Amino acid sequence: MNLSAGVAYANIMCVQANERPGMMRVRPLQPDSSYLVHKIQGTQTTVGGSGGQMPLGLTPLSGQQISLIRAWITEGAKNN
């Protein structure tokens, strides 16, 4: 997946997750239905996903960082 500036947003918004067909990477307004949230929380297997927690090979995000991402999605996941 290309997360370079200028294309990252289009590659995560309302795009089906490769590891979990039928679930969007980011579903605006619905953090619990967004595979990205499950990957950063380490709960991807509870929704039928696979793989390791993100960021892979690095320290997991803090609760505060995850809350910010959840809030962004809850507020519509705007490209701003």
Report the predicted TM-score, pTM, of the whole model to 2 decimal places: 0.92
Residue 1 lies in a domain: no
Q: What is the mean pLDDT of residues 54-75?
A: 97
Would the pLDDT of 6 be above 90?
A: no
Q: What is the pLDDT of residue 29?
A: 98
Report how many domains make up the chain. 1
Residue 33 lies in a domain: yes
What is the b/e burial string over 31-59, where b = at least 16 CB atoms within 10 angstroms of the residue's CB?
A: beebbbbbbbbeebeebebeeebbeeeee
Q: Which domain holds residue 57?
A: 8-74
Residue 80 lies in a domain: no
Residue 3 lies in a domain: no
Residue 79 lies in a domain: no
